[in-house]
Amino acid sequence: MDDLQPISILLLGDDEVGKSTFLSRLALLRSSKAAAPRGGSAASPPPALLRDEDQPFVVELRTRIAAFRLEFCDTASPEHWRSRPPPDLVVLCYDISRRPTLASLQTRWLGEVRTAFQHCDRLPILVLGLKRDLRREDDPAGTLYPHEACNLAQQLRADMYLECSAVTGELLAQVVDDICRRAIQTATPEGGQSQGACCVM
């Protein structure tokens, strides 16, 4: 509809960290209106992965003040994401069960954002931990814990830290709500940036 204000959201991160599964579950949540209670699990089975041609995945939101069209893309679509117009919000994603994927947010992806988007000093950036269901308490060398990711998010001066499992649905509804709220804030005069990383569990 013509009255919808578009807001673009770009997911970045290493291959196989779970970005496509997250977007596919988001599509399932929004189409079925079956979001799990905050902190709970979605009872539905794992979704079929979105194809490249399915992106951007669109979520329409209406508030008492305005209506928004949230357009989600990950690094698989389009193939050359750097050639896209600058997004309104960037979500840096990592795999909770693979420690190197968090480190690469600092060593690779933040630099990619700064190089590709000239307005990065005003661009809200969230850090999202995926595959929460694979966290193993008996594997501290390989598994990442929330305080470690929160610390890195603060070092990156990210605006928010979140984590969930797209497969089981754990914390998924809460994460989707938080991303949507932050996205809407980008359309306000104050913008979507915060004073620093905020852990949301």
Taking only the tens place, the pLDDT of each residue in 141-167 is 778 999 999 999 999 999 999 999 999
Name all domains of the chain by residue range, CATH numbers in brackets: 4-185 (3.40.50.300)
pLDDT at residue 41, as a whole number: 45
Which DSSP string do the residues of the chain spell out, in sequence order? -TTEEEEEEEEE-STTSSHHHHHHHHHHHHHHT-PPPTT----SPPPPPPPGGGPSEEEEEE-SS-EEEEEEE-TTSSS-GGGSPPPSEEEEEEETT-HHHHHHIIIIIHHHHHHH-TTGGG--EEEEEE-GGG--TT-TTTS--HHHHHHHHHHTT-SEEEE--TTT-TTHHHHHHHHHHHHHHTTSTT-S--SS--B--
Q: Which residue has the higher pLDDT, 178 or 83?
A: 178
Does the pLDDT at position 2 exceed 80? no
Does the pLDDT at position 12 exceed 60? yes
Percent of residues, the chain, with pLDDT higher than 70: 77
Query: Average pLDDT, stretch 185-190?
Result: 84
pLDDT at residue 32, as a whole number: 54
Q: What is the pTM of this model?
A: 0.84
Confidence of residue 23 (pLDDT cuts 50, 70, 90): confident
Per-chain mean pLDDT for the chain: 81
pLDDT at residue 175, as a whole number: 92
